[in-house]
Structure 1
Amino acid sequence: MTTMVETPVALRHGRDLVSPELFEKLSAFCAAEYGHELSTARKVMDQALAFLKVMGDAKAFDMAPSEIVDPGWHTFMLHTQDYATWCEEQFGYFVHHAPNSKIRTRPLMVSVADRIKAAGFEVDERLWGTSADCNQPACCGDGGCCC
């Protein structure tokens, strides 16, 4: 009888979907514009890029980012030339942002995080409000304590 050892699969990161220079430019803007520490802004941008990739690949426009991840999408969109070029390269079309913050329920955030995980991306549960140590209502991905 032989025993097979499974090698863990390396998870993908949203940050790897853009050049390191663009990632740092977006992270710095996100930090300055939304008042985040740079380390938090990098996490937000990483998750926003993974979210966009999954949503755009699947044309899954029922997905929504958490309140804390949404500024990452806004940041990228404000860099319109970079964003438009990236969308065209990744999907062949421009991904429009149709905000609807009223649909940010915990079950939806769990579903979105699960879809991102299923695509092989690392998910920061704290930014999606899906972490086990979430303390509702003050902290569930949308609160400052989850960073």
Structure 2
Amino acid sequence: MTLTAVATETRTGRSLVTGAEFGTLAAFCADEYGLERCVAERVVDQALALVFVMGTSGDGASMAPSRLVDPGWHTLILHTGWYAEWCERSFGYFLHHQPKATVRTRGLMTDVVGRIRAAGFEVDEGLWGTAAECNPPACCGDGDGC
């Protein structure tokens, strides 16, 4: 008996939009939130993957971005006309923003990351890691005292 491994390729949030759209979103995110362009690109990539999973699962109300991915989510919704059209094209309805900043727990972030990964997307662990999982003042954020 021969077993054949099936390679499963992951996709990126970036792949969900055109290059021009991604460039516009990343530039806005960098300027609006004071991020280096390469960081803003990572943030927008993860936000696109998150919102796509929220929209296609129909269970977006139980998901939230990490503190570090949140600017990407806001970048998408601040481009209201584009965002509304992208939602309709991607999953057939407008996905409303329902802030959950007070519930960013390690368990929720682990679940969200698992769901993004299960949907076939690459996960940028650095944007979902320990510093992103907790809310000050309960956690120090990036310091070693967490």
Deviation at 1:128, TM superposition (A): 1.1
Q: Which residue number corresponds to residue 96 of structure 2?
A: 96
Q: Which residue number corresponds to residue 33 of structure 1?
A: 32
1:69-94 Cα deviation digits (max 9, x unpaired): 01101111111111010011112111
- Letter of the 1:59 counterpart: G
List gaps (5 residues or longer) in structure 2. Answer: 132-137
Contact 1:109-1:130 at 8 Å conserved across structures: no
Aligned residues: 136
Residues 1-147 of structure 1 aligned to structure 2 (within 5 Å): 1-2=1-2, 4=4, 6-60=5-59, 61-129=61-129, 137-139=139-141, 143=142
- Shift in alpha-carbon separation, 1:43–1:3, aligned structure 2, 3 A: same
What TM-score, normalized to structure 1?
0.85
What TM-score, normalized to structure 2?
0.86
- Letter of the 2:127 counterpart: L
Contact 1:110-1:130 at 8 Å conserved across structures: no
- Shift in alpha-carbon separation, 1:130–1:11, aligned structure 2, 3 A: farther
Q: CA RMSD in A?
A: 1.9
- Letter of the 1:92 counterpart: G
Name segments (4+ residues, structure 1) moved above 4 Å.
Answer: none
List gaps (5 residues or longer) in structure 1. Answer: none
- Letter of the 2:107 counterpart: P
1:29-74 Cα deviation digits (max 9, x unpaired): 0001001110000000000000000000011111001011011011
Q: Distance in 1 between matches of 2:94 and 2:3?
A: 48
The share of aligned pairs that are identical, in percent, is 54
Deviation at 1:126, TM superposition (A): 1.4
Q: Distance in 1 between matches of 2:6 and 2:103?
A: 38
Deviation at 1:117, TM superposition (A): 0.3
- Letter of the 1:34 counterpart: Y
